[in-house]
């Protein structure tokens, strides 16, 4: 047996996915903003055309962006060559202001023209992307009309949606006015096949003549937008709600109404819009909280992922939704949430199968107010299974723009066993660049209530805060919570989920993605990540991979383009940007069920370490020997630690134990070529190139 003695000095140090105890703490300390939620590096969407009496220079769309890091953000609309670049400030908000002619595929004036037939608008979507994960809020703020939505990143988009909009109230207005139900469908990927099946009202139709139950197919390219508008004869309230959208690649869907009366007999219409959540994220339990300062209750629309789904309110059976998508009464339900005296209330809605719920704030005429604050808005409701522990959000005028005189947040929280609010549930606001935390239970509230029915033996409560000033805020809790932002002004309003998770609730995947990699002598890393398990019935597939902000310095991540939720393998590489400086990388991989794997890499350039013995370990084994021993003169390496030998593809060839400062290697398994020896210690992790020749 041959024995090789060398003194190993470390030029670059790395940690593998076999963590030391210290490294495992990283997973616990990762910001919750970096999970399977509304944070991402890429967003595609399109704004449904908003009501404008006249084209007004004060009509704009505000796109708010917040991040944990200082990162470059680009907003573009490809077909018109529109581009803006800005850089975020960590834990703060930046904004993009874009006019209606940029944000929308076209300008539509319902008081002057008929609904526009369905059509694909090439490369007309709004595209927002960044180097690090960001959160994006969209607020449409036109003259005397507004609404907004929380944008969903590409990593969380789906291939099945059921539209929730609101009908055109042509019954109330003359035939010369059309305020249609609208849906925009955006394709992030080329050659996307989209099928649209109309739901809505039995006698309604689309502007292009589609009837309920009919399906049309479209082929879309990246950045294309498909726009549908409802249309119907006099006496019919046409609607796109209940329409089903199915695609072969992830798409973004935003639905609303050009100017909706809610309900249709209640005057003083307002623009409404919301980004639909894909059906793979739907759950069985939803808390719906009342809005503040309204005499009459909100309206909800309930949809079913599967046919013949039973619906319950506070445990009482409301009926069965017969179809997944379709017309009102069969494909979805609509109802108000009042107590026996007709007063607004909070409620828990449930289904025996996955359901989706959209919330509608009514107009103010029914409150006998012609000049009060509030107006219609719509917002999607988050299922209990998607609740989170940490939330970051901002108000729509955080940077001094045109805001709303009243801003509120409804906080749904998991309570203690006795129904009380957790003592550790805290509300944070930024002041002079620092966050000030206060216990939520110590803050004055507009409304506080406990839900009547438990969910999985857990009690839940709701508290409503009035935000006295525009700003950036945070919430954190040891237990789960959900939040909804909404606000009022004179004949104006907005509402959307403050934050949400988008885990795949249809797949029981508990296995982390499995990365493999090869590290060269210059600190650059090339690898592949494969989502597990092998059985696709129990695999959610990859969602995203990214460097964790503020923990990664002087490394650049590149990877092949892939389709989230569809692809399970992605090739990636890390490159040291400046070889003369130290580099650190925390690289996170996650799948659509929220299973995470983190790799830690550290690089030290030659000039910052001992320059002796920087050459690779070169071995010429004796053909008669099956094993060789390599001894390492490295006093800081503990006994009994792990080591691995990895080939150039990143595949682990040998795993073993380092004992008596010796590596005993079975060379019969090693072909001639280049390998990497990785040593995993509690105090450090090191690597060295290994060359086998004959």
Tell me which of 315-319, 440-444, 553-557, 608-612 is least confident.
608-612
Per-residue pLDDT at 179 exceeds 50: yes
Q: 162 and 71 in one domain? A: yes
Question: To 10 degrees, the CA torsion angle through 12, 16, 19, 23?
Answer: 50
Query: DSSP alpha helices (H): ranges in 456-574?
Result: none
Q: Comparing C-alpha atoms, which of 690, 630, 614, 662 is closest to residue 10?
A: 614
Spatial CB neighbours of 578, under 8 Å, sequence gap ≥ 6: 554
- Cα distances from 456 to residues 83, 385, 416, 451, 534, in angstroms, run 48, 11, 13, 13, 31
Residue with tokens 């109309």: 198
Per-residue pLDDT at 230 exceeds 70: yes
Spatial CB neighbours of 89, under 8 Å, sequence gap ≥ 6: 70
Q: What is the pLDDT of residue 14?
A: 35
Q: 478 and 549 in one domain? A: no
| DSSP symbol at 27 | H
State the average pLDDT over residues 163-179: 79
Residue ranges making up the domain that contains 382: 37-499
| DSSP symbol at 650 | S
Q: What is the pLDDT of residue 9?
A: 28
Q: What is the pLDDT of residue 313?
A: 96
More confident residue, 636 or 378: 378
Q: What is the pLDDT of residue 681?
A: 56
Instruction: Note the residue count of the chain.
Output: 694
State the average pLDDT over residues 65-70: 85
Q: What is the pLDDT of residue 592?
A: 95
With contact defined as beta carbons under 8 Å apart, do 452 and 412 qualify? Answer: no
Q: Comparing C-alpha atoms, which of 124, 150, 140 is closest to residue 275?
A: 150
Tell me which of 121-130, 322-331, 520-529, 676-685 is least confident.
676-685
Distance of alpha carbon 180 from alpha carbon 241, whole angstroms: 11
Q: 471 and 322 in one domain? A: yes
Tell me the two tokens of residue 567: 């692809």
Q: 265 and 146 in one domain? A: yes
In tens, the pLDDT along 384-401 reads 999 999 888 888 766 555
Q: 44 and 27 in one domain? A: no
Within a 13 Å sphere around the CA of 326, how many CA atoms are in the beta-carbon half? 14
Model confidence at 522, in pLDDT bands (50, 70, 90)? confident
Q: Comparing C-alpha atoms, which of 141, 64, 137 is closest to residue 404?
A: 141
With contact defined as beta carbons under 8 Å apart, do 590 and 509 qualify? Answer: no
Tell me which of 28-42, 451-465, 534-548, 571-585 is least confident.
28-42
Of 499, 526, 547, the last residue of a domain is 499
Distance of alpha carbon 51 from alpha carbon 313, whole angstroms: 35
Report helix, strand or coil for 668: helix
Within a 13 Å sphere around the CA of 565, how many CA atoms are in the beta-carbon half? 24
Question: What is the model's pTM?
Answer: 0.84
In tens, the pLDDT along 193-225 reads 999 999 998 888 999 999 999 999 999 999 999
Of 499, 529, 547, the last residue of a domain is 499
Distance of alpha carbon 49 from alpha carbon 140, whole angstroms: 10
Q: For residue 541, with 0-12 CB atoms within 10 Å meaning exposed, 13-18 middle and 19 or more buried, which class applies?
A: buried
Model confidence at 686, in pLDDT bands (50, 70, 90)? low
E strands present in 243-326: 244-260, 270-275, 283-288, 299-304, 309-313, 316-321
Q: What is the pLDDT of residue 639?
A: 56
With contact defined as beta carbons under 8 Å apart, do 361 and 486 qualify? Answer: yes
Number of other residues whose CB lies within 10 A of the CB of residue 29 = 7
Task: For the chain, give the percent of residues with pLDDT over 70.
Answer: 82
Q: 471 and 615 in one domain? A: no
Q: For residue 613, with 0-12 CB atoms within 10 Å meaning exposed, 13-18 middle and 19 or more buried, which class applies?
A: middle
In tens, the pLDDT along 420-464 reads 999 999 999 877 777 899 999 999 999 999 999 999 999 999 999
Q: What is the pLDDT of residue 28?
A: 52
Q: 184 and 113 in one domain? A: yes
Q: 105 and 62 in one domain? A: yes
| Total tally of structural domains belonging to the chain | 2
Mean pLDDT, the chain, whole residue set: 84
Distance of alpha carbon 596 from alpha carbon 515, whole angstroms: 11
The sign one gets for the Cα dihedral 662, 666, 667, 669 is: negative
With contact defined as beta carbons under 8 Å apart, do 519 and 16 qualify? Answer: no
Q: What is the pLDDT of residue 300?
A: 96
More confident residue, 347 or 17: 347
Phi then psi dihedrals of residue 668, to 5 deg: -65, -20
Q: 107 and 185 in one domain? A: yes
Query: CATH no. for residue 613?
Result: 2.60.40.10
Spatial CB neighbours of 122, under 8 Å, sequence gap ≥ 6: 79, 221, 223, 224
Model confidence at 675, in pLDDT bands (50, 70, 90)? confident
Distance of alpha carbon 362 from alpha carbon 376, whole angstroms: 5
Spatial CB neighbours of 512, under 8 Å, sequence gap ≥ 6: 532, 589, 591, 595, 596, 597
State the average pLDDT over residues 15-33: 42
Q: 316 and 375 in one domain? A: yes
More confident residue, 65 or 6: 65
Q: b/e map of 166-204 (b: 16 or more CB within 10 Å)?
A: bbbbbeebeeebbbbbbbbbbbbbeebebebbbbbbeeb
Residue 676, Cα to own-chain centre: how many angstroms? Answer: 37
Q: 590 and 456 in one domain? A: no
- Cα distances from 85 to residues 31, 82, 91, 96, 691, in angstroms, run 25, 10, 18, 9, 46
Q: What is the pLDDT of residue 16?
A: 34
In tens, the pLDDT along 241-276 reads 999 999 999 999 999 999 888 998 888 888 899 999
With contact defined as beta carbons under 8 Å apart, do 184 and 227 qualify? Answer: yes
State the average pLDDT over residues 306-312: 98
Per-residue pLDDT at 21 exceeds 50: no
Of 444, 473, 499, the last residue of a domain is 499
Q: 543 and 473 in one domain? A: no
Spatial CB neighbours of 482, under 8 Å, sequence gap ≥ 6: 287, 382, 384, 386, 387, 388, 411, 412, 497, 499, 500
Per-residue pLDDT at 12 exceeds 50: no
How many Å is the maximal CA-CA distance in the chain?
97
Q: Please report which helix (H) or strand (E) contains residue 102, including its range.
A: helix 100-103
In tens, the pLDDT along 585-622 reads 999 999 999 999 888 888 887 544 443 334 556 666 66
């Amino acid at each position: 047996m041959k024995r090789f003695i060398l003194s190993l000095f470390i030029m670059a140090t790395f940690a593998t996915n076999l963590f030391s105890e210290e490294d495992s703490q990283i997973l616990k300390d990762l910001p919750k903003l970096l999970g399977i939620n509304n944070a991402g590096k890429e967003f595609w969407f399109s704004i449904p055309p908003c009501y404008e009496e006249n084209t007004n220079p004060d009509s704009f769309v505000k796109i708010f962006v917040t991040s944990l890091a200082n990162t470059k953000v680009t907003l573009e609309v490809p077909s018109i060559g529109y581009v803006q670049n800005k850089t975020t400030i960590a834990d703060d908000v930046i904004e993009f202001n874009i006019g209606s002619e940029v944000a929308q595929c076209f300008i539509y004036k319902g008081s002057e023209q008929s609904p526009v037939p369905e059509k694909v608008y090439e490369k007309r979507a709004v595209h927002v992307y960044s180097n690090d994960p960001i959160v994006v809020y969209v607020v449409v703020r036109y003259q005397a009309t507004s609404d907004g939505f929380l944008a969903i990143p590409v990593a969380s988009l789906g291939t099945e949606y059921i539209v929730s909009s609101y009908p055109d109230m042509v019954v109330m207005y003359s035939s010369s006015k059309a305020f249609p139900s609208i849906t925009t469908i955006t394709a992030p990927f080329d050659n996307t096949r989209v099928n649209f099946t109309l739901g809505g009202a039995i006698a309604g139709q689309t502007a292009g003549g589609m009837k309920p139950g009919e399906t049309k197919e479209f082929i879309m390219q990246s950045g294309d937008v498909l726009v549908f508008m409802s249309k119907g004869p006099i006496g019919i309230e046409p609607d796109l709600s209940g329409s089903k959208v199915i695609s072969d690649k992830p798409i973004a869907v935003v639905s609303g109404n050009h100017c909706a009366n809610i309900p249709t007999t209640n005057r003083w219409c307002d623009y409404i819009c919301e980004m639909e959540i894909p059906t793979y994220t739907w759950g069985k339990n939803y808390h719906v909280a009342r809005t503040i300062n309204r005499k009459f209750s909100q309206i909800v629309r309930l949809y079913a992922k599967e046919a013949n789904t039973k619906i319950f309110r506070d445990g009482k059976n409301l009926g069965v939704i017969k179809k997944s998508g379709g017309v009102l009464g069969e494909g979805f339900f609509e109802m108000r949430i009042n107590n026996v005296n007709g007063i607004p209330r909070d409620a828990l809605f449930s289904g025996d199968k996955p359901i989706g719920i959209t919330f509608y704030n009514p107009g103010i005429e029914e409150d006998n107010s012609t000049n009060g604050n509030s107006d219609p808005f719509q917002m999607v409701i988050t299922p209990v299974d998607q609740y989170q522990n940490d939330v970051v959000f901002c108000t729509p005028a955080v940077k001094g723009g045109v805001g709303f005189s009243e801003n509120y947040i409804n906080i749904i929280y998991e309570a203690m066993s006795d129904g009380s609010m957790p003592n550790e549930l805290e509300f944070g606001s930024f002041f002079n660049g620092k966050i000030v935390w206060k216990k939520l239970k110590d803050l004055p509230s507009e409304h506080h209530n406990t839900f009547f029915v438990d969910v999985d033996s857990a009690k839940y409560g709701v508290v409503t805060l009035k935000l006295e000033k525009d700003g950036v805020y945070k919430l954190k809790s040891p237990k789960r919570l959900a939040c909804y932002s909404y606000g009022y002004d004179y004949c104006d309003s907005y509402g959307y989920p403050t934050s949400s998770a988008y885990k795949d609730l249809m797949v029981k995947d508990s296995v982390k993605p499995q990365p493999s990699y090869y590290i060269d002598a210059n600190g650059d890393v090339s690898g592949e990540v494969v989502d597990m398990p092998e059985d696709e019935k129990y695999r959610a597939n990859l969602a995203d991979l990214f460097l964790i902000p503020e923990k990664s310095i002087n490394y650049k991540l590149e990877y092949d383009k892939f389709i989230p939720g569809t692809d399970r393998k992605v090739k990636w590489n890390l490159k040291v940007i400046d070889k003369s400086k130290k580099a650190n990388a925390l690289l996170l991989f996650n799948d659509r069920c929220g299973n995470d794997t983190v790799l830690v890499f550290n690089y030290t350039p030659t000039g910052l370490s001992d320059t002796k013995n920087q050459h690779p370990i070169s071995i010429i084994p004796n053909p008669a020997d099956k094993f060789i021993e390599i001894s390492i003169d490295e006093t800081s390496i503990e006994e009994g630690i792990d080591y691995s030998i990895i080939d150039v593809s990143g595949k682990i060839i040998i795993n073993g134990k380092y004992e008596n400062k010796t590596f005993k290697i079975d060379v019969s398994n090693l072909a001639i070529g280049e390998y990497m020896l990785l040593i995993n210690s509690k105090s450090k992790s090191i690597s060295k190139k290994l060359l086998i020749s004959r």
